[in-house]
Amino acid sequence: MNVRYRNLNVLVPCFVGLAIMCGLVAYSPELYRAFCGATGYGGTTQRAYADPTTTSQRTVTIDFDSNVAPGLPWRFEPEQRSVTVHLGEQKLVFFSAENLSDKATVGHATFNVTPPTSGIYFNKIQCFCFNEERLDPHQKVDMPVVFYVDPAFAKDSDMDHVDAITLSYTFGRSASPTDAKNLSRFLANAAPDAVHGLELFNQRCSACHGLDQNMTGPMLGGVVGHPAGSAAGFNYSPALRSAHLTWSTDKLDEWLAGPQKLVPGARMPVRVLDALSRHDIIAYLREVGEKHSDQAHPQAHASGPEY
Ligand code: HEC
């Protein structure tokens, strides 16, 4: 066989393989994310719902990088070049996005980290990259990302010499714009969204809190407007029991931002760094609180609380 054909025998399967991979990545972001997200393969990152339980002395620097694919008329930039975090420490950072065109457009962010093997330790609690996102004409928003690096990073010998990780996002035009969320939810004057609050509550609070029963944490059904430490039958920390606080919207906001800062000695091991998420969760708690007080009226009770 002549040399040219022999080369083709090798090259053609390579190109076919490459084309299939590119096809999968380009046309099936869900598949790409499902696969890469599950394995940490290729420098994608993990999605976390809970806080890490430990922090470590070791630090790592996260550098941020952003790109916009051709065809999406957006400006998209990190608002900080880099941050240094302790392993296990939650961090809130912002990216800004602006639609430079006269039309609403939907974008979709893909992301990866370098070195790629560090991806399995990189956990995002909140990120715009979980959704298709719409920006109205000339709208500009600041988008929060909350993340932490898993303390298990310190135990992986492959990470011994890694002291910096680059987190890189690319926004491209969305392939399925009809499912998009609206980025206007990140505008400073956006109204709190109780439906999103319920989603966040299920992800981040319901492991410890129910509405009508005490679990690891006290029941929260009627918490808004009530004194702290007053759920019947719950064994509170002495600090919270004697805190003399009433759970107004503002106090709940401070509590969720840092329970031990508001009540030194309190036992809740969770913080919600992003203010908009806090406002949505509190809006949800207010809403279920109103339903709970309606329970005095049997008709309103018939439908029961929504979980
Ligand atoms: C890992 C378990 C855990 C998670 C997750 C958790 N909490 Fe808690 N929470 C607690 C514990 C424990 C307490 C009681 C603290 C104490 O006694 O010092 C508490 C107390 C509270 C209180 C005070 C209630 C009262 O009766 O005074 C509020 C409000 C609250 N949590 C809201 C939330 C919200 C909202 C979330 C989700 C963002 C959340 N918690 C997530 C464990 C948790």
The DSSP-derived string for 242-253 is T---B--HHHHH
Q: Which CATH class is domain 42-181?
A: mainly beta
State how far the Cα of 129 lies from the Cα of 193, in Å rounded to an integer: 19
State how far the Cα of 46 lies from the Cα of 40, in Å rounded to an integer: 7
The answer to whether residues 296 and 220 touch, using CB atoms and an 8 Å cutoff, is no
What's the one-letter identity of residue 118? S
Q: Tell me the pTM.
A: 0.75
Question: Residue ranges of the chain with pLDDT lower than 50?
Answer: 1, 22-41, 295-307
State how far the Cα of 127 lies from the Cα of 30, in Å rounded to an integer: 16
Q: Which residues line ligand 1 (CB under 6 A)?
A: 204-205, 207-209, 216-218, 220, 223, 228-231, 236-237, 239-240, 247, 252, 255-256, 266-270, 272, 281
CATH fold of 194-301 = Cytochrome Bc1 Complex; Chain D, domain 2 (1.10.760)
**Ligand 1 atom closest to 281 (CA):** 35
- Ligand 1 center–CA 251 separation, angstroms: 13
CA R_g for the chain: 23
